Amino acid sequence: MPEPQTTRGSFWERHGRSWAVTAMSIVLALLVGAIVMIVSDPEVVTQYAYLFTAPQLPLGASWAKVSSAYSALFFGAVGSPYALAMTTAQAAPLICAGLGVGLGFRAGLFNIGAQGQAVIAAILAAWVGFALPMPPVLHLVVAVLAGLVGGAVWGGIVGFLKARTGAHEVIVTIMMNYIATGILAWLLTTDAFLRPGSRDPISPPVEPTAIFPAFYGQFHLGFVVALLAAALTWWLIERSTIGFAIRAVGANPRAAATAGMSVGRITIVTMVLSGLLAGLAGTQFALGPGGQGVPTPLSAGLVGTVGFDAITVALLGRSSPIGIVFAGLLFGGLHSGGLAMQSMAGTPVTMAMLLQALIVLFVAAPGLVSAITPYLRAPKNKSLVGGQA
């Protein structure tokens, strides 16, 4: 997010406050989540009738409920090497797609199409993975490249339409999401994408030669690729000429045009790169090693809602690559911890989603956080999505 660059102000004012607000948002979300957990469990709520006669009953029940859920969340996210590996696997696609959306924000583009870009990428990567036998290493490289090209083209179409016709990228990307989902549904009725002898809409498994090799548990090469993508994106935005142009267009397209930059060209390039990164997220799903030693075959819902989760990751990471890596890890941890919360504490998976939503809500409403914690009060007139969306 392009913050107003002021030469004055301490480091705290420039960075510390926003990080503190983010941290406070997480704490507040956990608190609200705890209250929701207590109120939504009739067994705990009924205990509150004894609050004054036998306070140990309601408080004990609440504590048992909340502590078991949050310790399961913690255990499932970072509690063991296996859990940590799981968290990195969950975070990898979120980081990639988050980088894509974040890059769009820097140019003032709201790419809601990461979902469709990831779907197209997953289709191509999976197809190369199961239909084109190749030697190891080469197979993985070709499959990943196919996915990247798919995502870049899907995003590039939007950039082209915006640059040449002025079509709003929000509308176009939403439509492109529908088209991508429709293409996947249709492909899964064709013989080329189905298992021999079966009509169930699910593809053959990807060949082992095209799978990201796992180092430990679910910790695999894809996560390393995601970190590399973050480093490259940082370099691109902060150190390259094209990144300067992207930021300039995001800050003020008219001024950028006056300075001799082609706003249309930058729009196309940004959408291509944004789609490429979202496409990398799609390949993470298609080529990830999965648990149980079997890859997840291509079928409806393979990429989940990564494109929309990526928007929240980019917002939480404030569109900076390093922030997005941490936001992706946080959401990846919340997701794998959320799965553990279900199996260990019997808390519904919706609880983990609620926590994610609450964190984003508090981050997106800094005024709310600073009202509760006045010492974090932020300067006024700050928008979360930079530039002209």
Partner 1 sequence: MKKTLIGSGLALALVLGGCAQPPSASPSAGGSNTPAPGATPSDFLACMVSDNGGFDDKSFNETSHKGLTDAKTQLLIKTKEVQSTTNADYAPNVQNMIDAKCDVIVTVGFKIADVTLAAAKKNPDTKFAIVDAAYTDPKTGKNTAPANLKGLLFNSAEPSYLAGYAAASLSQSGKVGTFGGAKIPSVTSFMSGYAQGVEKYNQDKGKNVQVVGWNTKSKDGTFIPSGNFDDVAGGKNVSTQLVNQGVDVIMPVAGPAGEGALQVAQGSGGKVAAVWVDTDGYVSQPKYKAAIATSVGKAMDVAVFDAIKAAKDDQFTNEPYTGTIANKGVYLAPFHDYDAKVSAETKSELDKLQADIASGAIKVEA
Residue 282 within binding range of partner 1, rule CB under 8 A: no
Owner of token pair 């990461």? 114
Residue 292 within binding range of partner 1, rule CB under 8 A: yes
Give the C-alpha separation, 60 to 254, whole Å.
61
Q: How far is the CB of 52 from partner 1 (least distance, A)?
A: 5
Backbone angles phi, psi at 187, to 5 degrees: -55, -35
Binding residue for partner 1, selected from 91, 221, 230, 302, defined by CB under 8 A: 302
- Find, among 310, 312, 318, the residue nearest to 378 by Cα: 318
Stretch that binds partner 1, among 11-19, 145-153, 167-175, 291-299 (CB under 8 A): 291-299
Binding residue for partner 1, selected from 136, 213, 301, 367, defined by CB under 8 A: 301
Q: At what angle do helices 321-345 and 306-316 cross, to 10 degrees?
A: 120
Binding residue for partner 1, selected from 344, 361, 365, 368, defined by CB under 8 A: 344
Strand partners, 220: 214
List the structure tokens of 328. 């992706």
Q: How far is the CB of 176 from partner 1 (least distance, A)?
A: 15
- Find, among 174, 39, 193, 47, the residue nearest to 113 by Cα: 174
Residue 215 within binding range of partner 1, rule CB under 8 A: no
Residue 297 within binding range of partner 1, rule CB under 8 A: yes
Stretch that binds partner 1, among 2-10, 126-134, 247-255, 290-298 (CB under 8 A): 290-298
Residue 27 within binding range of partner 1, rule CB under 8 A: no
Residue 312 within binding range of partner 1, rule CB under 8 A: no
Q: Residues near 255 by Cβ (< 8 Å), separated by ≥ 6?
A: 248
Q: Judged by CB, which is closer to partner 1: 93, or 155?
A: 93
- Find, among 209, 216, 99, the residue nearest to 144 by Cα: 209
Distances in Å between the Cα of 385 and the Cα atoms of 49, 103, 275, 382 are 46, 11, 18, 9
Which residue ranges make up the site for partner 1 (CB under 8 A)? 48-54, 57-58, 76, 86, 89-90, 178, 182, 185, 189, 196-202, 205, 218, 285, 288, 290-294, 296-297, 299, 301-306, 335-336, 339-340, 342-344, 346, 348-349, 353
